[in-house]
A and B are shown apart, each in its own frame.
Chain A
Amino acid sequence: MAFDPSIYEQQRRNLQTSLGQQQALNTYRRYLAETAGQRPITQIQEAAFGIQKQVPRLTANYGQRGLQGMGVRSGVYKKALGDYASERTKQLGYAQSDLANQLRGYDLAATQGQESYQESLKDIESNKARQIAADAAALLELR
């Protein structure tokens, strides 16, 4: 018996603290994941004309073989460039999707934490109402 609502406030504060910790950790992990996930995308993007110069090299390779050059646009070169672009676009899209999916996982975790927090708050309120009812019944029994 002996209804003491302060214990529910304590539980509420604990919930808020746990939520804050969980959200902070999740946010940080999301940041790390986003950073890590962005890296291959950047590499793919920069690989075409960056240090690796994949496109210029491919064009130069076909130019040395006389399949590409001034006035020359061989079908082999066109197919190779087209295949490269297609593959690159696919890998880049995959990398972006992977990153987006991974980030959605963190977003979902944050949402679940929020949902859990709300549920727990309602649990506390339900328990409090039950305790009030039990105490009222006990008080009546004492008369």
Chain B
Amino acid sequence: MAVTKYEPAPPGARPKTNVPGAGAPSVFNPILPPTADTPSVDVAADFELPTYDWSGAILGGGGGSGAPASYYDALGSARGLEAQTASDKLDLEIAKYNQQQALDNAALQRKGLGAQEALKYYEAQLAGVEGGQIPEALNTTLEEQKAARDAFANTTYGNLLSRLGTRYGEAQGLTDEGFGALKTYLEGAPQNAYATAPRATATPVSNDIAQYMQSQGVDAARVQPGLLAAQAAAQGGAANYNNLLTTLAATSTQANQSRLNEQAMAQRLAQATLTAQKAAQEGALDQAKIAQLNAIQEQYTASRLQLQKDSIARENALRDAIAELGISGNLAIDTTESTETPEERAARIAAATAAEKAAADKAAAETAASRSGAVNILAKQIAAAKGSNAPALQSRANAFIAANPTATPAQVKAEFPQLRAAAVKATAKKK
């Protein structure tokens, strides 16, 4: 917070009597003829009162020729009181200034300390995000989530694979059991209808009238042609039948062996089918697992990328904030804690106040001394001017004073003829 330091004492200001330059006009209040309520000087309104020779009384510098004694007494008394009041006001203002300065210093120090704390905070934050690194907590959470999801995918895959293996074992068991039972049946069941069928035997043919022929004196051998023909027919039929059975039995045996081969082939085919199905389902599981792990990895990578982006943005923001701290100059504020005691501080402020007061009074006295009395009075009167035209009048007077610091009363009067009337009017009001 800026504090407007009091301006240097204007020309004509009077320092305290105990310091160099004592007796000079006050810095803050113009020296006016003693009045109870410090009346204002309306120069414009009093412009038409040309009665009193003001220059001879005040500005002549000749020791009071022509001026009423009561006026000088009043003026001298008023000047003394006014000087004392101005000095007290100066003390107060200096004290207020020093107090404000102390407050400002404290505020500034707090600002500096705040900037330093902010810098520490920013740097600490920066350490966690520098180089696009992901904050530890987020990184840990991300890694844990990925590990958990990976583990879930792997566990699920393992469970499904194990279940598939179990189901495959069951299917294989069913298949083997079915074909095993078939094989047992084929090997044990009868396939012997032709093999065990009764073989044919040739019906014996005999000559049942042989005894009669012998009794008639006929040789029985005469029946031989017919007997042979009958026997040939009987034997031929039986032999053909038996040959047929033998052939059919052999065919049946081959058919049974064919069935056993068929069973073995069907069993191998069924096993191969199951194995192929198992492999296909394992492949599907592998694909699903890979897809799942890939999706997890992609999400993990995307999350890391986003976090790194956030980290970089945060880093940039922190670096911007640190740069702004440096630019603000608050980091350069001396925040060294004061070791002086309140008494030392009060003494320091008092000494500084006295020195400043002395310097101000000295400057005012030097200014007053460098001017003529008429110019000093002009400066005093102008400083007290009020009204809407006061700024213009003050500007004009200040320019005149700067150009003519040692102007004579006549010169002042010539430039500002209304001042005399104002002085007279003011004096009259005091009386």
Contact = CB atoms under 8 A, between A and B. Distances in A.
A114 B171 CA distance: 35
Interface string A77-119: 1110111011111111110110011001001100110110011
Contacts of A125: 181-182, 185-186, 189
Interface stretch (B215-223, B294-302, B384-392): B215-223
Nearest to B241: A104
Given A126-B262, A140-B168, A140-B171, A92 B189 contact: no
Given A89-B227, A96-B230, A104-B241, A128 B205 contact: no
Q: Is the interface of B mostly helix, strand, loop or mixed?
A: helix
Contacts of B223: 82, 85-86, 89
A143 B163 contact: yes
B200 to A, nearest CB: 6
B213 A85 contact: yes
A133 interface: yes
A13 interface: no
B181 A97 contact: no
A68 B245 CA distance: 52
B403 interface: no
Nearest to B266: A130
Contacts of A33: none
Query: Interface residue tally of chain A, by bracket?
Result: 35 or more
Query: Interface residue tally of chain B, by bracket?
Result: 35 or more
A101 B190 contact: no
Interface in B209-262: 209-210, 212-213, 216-220, 222-227, 229-231, 233-234, 236-238, 241, 244-245, 248, 252, 255-256, 259, 262
Contacts, number: 194
Interface string B260-276: 00110011001001100
A87 B223 CA distance: 8
Interface stretch (B106-114, B191-199, B309-317): B191-199
Contacts of B226: 85-91, 93
Nearest to A126: B182
Contacts of A97: 203, 230, 233-234, 236-237
A107 B201 CA distance: 13
B163 A137 contact: no
Contacts of A132: 174-175, 177-179
A73 B205 contact: no
A121 interface: yes
A92 B263 contact: no
B218 to A, nearest CB: 5
Contacts of B198: 107
B203 A93 contact: yes
A45 interface: yes
Given A82-B219, A85-B222, A133-B179, A143 B164 contact: yes
Most chain-A Cβ atoms within 10 A of its Cβ — which of B175, B200, B220? B175
A137 B273 contact: yes
A131 B182 CA distance: 12
A73 to B, nearest CB: 4
B167 interface: yes
B189 A122 contact: yes
A122 B256 CA distance: 9
A9 interface: no
Most chain-A Cβ atoms within 10 A of its Cβ — which of B178, B213, B220, B278? B178
A133 B231 CA distance: 57
A48 interface: yes
B395 interface: no
Contacts of B340: none
A78 B213 CA distance: 8
A115 B227 contact: no
B270 A133 contact: yes
A71 to B, nearest CB: 10
Contacts of A101: 237, 241
B172 interface: yes
Given A126-B259, A140-B277, A133 B193 contact: no
24 contacts: A73-B216, A78-B222, A82-B222, A85-B213, A89-B205, A89-B226, A89-B227, A94-B233, A97-B236, A111-B245, A112-B248, A114-B193, A122-B189, A122-B259, A125-B189, A129-B263, A132-B175, A133-B178, A133-B266, A133-B270, A136-B270, A140-B170, A140-B171, A143-B163
Given A126-B259, A132-B175, A140-B274, 12 more contacts: A79-B222, A82-B213, A90-B226, A91-B226, A97-B236, A100-B200, A111-B194, A115-B193, A118-B193, A136-B175, A139-B167, A143-B167
